[in-house]
Amino acid sequence: MSEAIKTKILKAFFFAAKPIARALLNSGIGFREFSQCAKAEFIDVAANEYGARGRQTNTSRISVMTGIARKQVAKIRDSSLEGVDVSAKLSLTGEVLHLWFTDPEFIDQNGKPKDIPVNGRVGSFESLVSRSEGDIPLGAIKKELLRLCSIEELPNKKLRILCKSFVPPGLSDRLEFGFRFGFKQLAEMINEDITEQGDFLRSQLRLYETKNIAKKDLAVFQKLSMENLNKFCNEFDDFLISMESSDIKNDSDIGIGLFYFENIDEHEDLI
């Protein structure tokens, strides 16, 4: 790759990284922690995606590819993020909610999720949690879903699901959710767009924007956007649920993401 192309990509990344820096600083996370995470990911990708015949890349080649000193590569490979739960607490609660809406054990003859008891071998919250991929205690999952207002406990002690998914209530939870399930998926999509050729792209990026809407009309556009986004998301989610089968397990998540945006960086044209 030429230096001119590298420079262009780095300039584009400079603008993309600005909201990330802002979000991390607002959360009390500085460059040192970010740098450690970034090094760990560079090393992980180089080690696991560039090795010959499915084997991991050796330390020397990782150092050459990433520009990180061999001693640092070895140290980070041995210690970075070990013992830290990076398996997505939010994804586990999301999986529990999803199973509740889709698995025949937990839905009635009309396809609606049942109110279920906490304990029991079949058709219970205990059974539901055991069907999900995770080893977090039953009580912890219940408390988290109650905190997120995703379920409620009825007077008869049964649990009722209130929504298919959830919007995390706290700022830190929303930031974690945005990074894990928004930014990551968008970045993966962009990467797929530049690597897939010839066949139908597994990931497609479509953006439509304008600077020519009067401020007095902005509220109308916002309202129309939200109404259509919510309508499409609900219809698409129902469609996905209708096609799912508990007997099928793909290696990758399949879905679609939509977002509304304003206030693109005023210095963006410097790219």
Do 35 and 77 sit in the same domain of this protein?
yes
Percent of the chain with pLDDT over 90: 11
Check: CB of residue 36 under 8 Å from CB of residue 80: yes
* Length of the chain, in residues: 271
Output the CA–CA distances (angstroms, integers) from residue 140 to 89, 93, 122, 200, in the order listed.
Answer: 11, 10, 20, 42
Residues spanned by the domain of 190: 169-271
Residue 196 in this model has a pLDDT that exceeds 70: no
Q: Is the dihedral of CA 188, 190, 195, 198 positive or negative?
A: positive
150 burial class (0-12, 13-18, 19+ CB within 10 angstroms)? buried
The pLDDT tens digits for 97-108 are 888 988 889 999
Do 42 and 77 sit in the same domain of this protein?
yes
Instruction: Measure the CA–CA gap between 10 and 243, rounded to whole angstroms.
Output: 41
Question: Residue 108's closest CA among 123, 87, 91?
Answer: 123
Of 135, 161, 187, the one marking the end of a domain is 161
Task: Please tell me the least confidently modeled range out of 70-79, 133-142, 221-230, 233-242.
Answer: 133-142
pLDDT band at 181 (very low <50, low <70, confident <90, very high): confident
Do 71 and 150 sit in the same domain of this protein?
no
Output the CA–CA distances (angstroms, integers) from residue 180 to 39, 64, 79, 143, 185, in the order listed.
Answer: 18, 29, 22, 22, 8
Of 30, 57, 84, the one marking the end of a domain is 84
**pLDDT at residue 146 in the model:** 87
Do 98 and 176 sit in the same domain of this protein?
no
How many CB atoms are closer than 10 A to CB 100? 25
Do 36 and 114 sit in the same domain of this protein?
no
Do 175 and 248 sit in the same domain of this protein?
yes
**pLDDT at residue 160 in the model:** 95
Residue 124 token pair:
């219970």
Do 255 and 233 sit in the same domain of this protein?
yes
Instruction: Measure the CA–CA gap between 72 and 174, rounded to whole angstroms.
Output: 33
**pLDDT at residue 157 in the model:** 92
**pLDDT at residue 117 in the model:** 95
Check: CB of residue 159 under 8 Å from CB of residue 151: yes
Do 242 and 189 sit in the same domain of this protein?
yes
**What are the φ and ψ backbone dihedral angles of 152, each rounded to 5 degrees?**
-135, 155
Do 239 and 253 sit in the same domain of this protein?
yes
| Mean pLDDT along residues 162-176 | 66
**pLDDT at residue 87 in the model:** 39
DSSP 8-state class, residue 113: B
- Report the number of distinct structural domains present in the chain: 3
Do 147 and 200 sit in the same domain of this protein?
no
Do 188 and 268 sit in the same domain of this protein?
yes
Angle, helices 3-26/31-49, rounded to nearest 10 degrees: 130
pTM: 0.55
**pLDDT at residue 91 in the model:** 55
- Run of H or E residues at 151: strand 151-153
**pLDDT at residue 265 in the model:** 53
The three-class DSSP label of residue 258 is: coil
Of 45, 61, 84, the one marking the end of a domain is 84
pLDDT band at 236 (very low <50, low <70, confident <90, very high): confident
**pLDDT at residue 203 in the model:** 57
Instruction: Measure the CA–CA gap between 95 and 81, rounded to whole angstroms.
Output: 24
Residue 271 in this model has a pLDDT that exceeds 50: no
pLDDT band at 89 (very low <50, low <70, confident <90, very high): very low
Residue 168 in this model has a pLDDT that exceeds 70: no
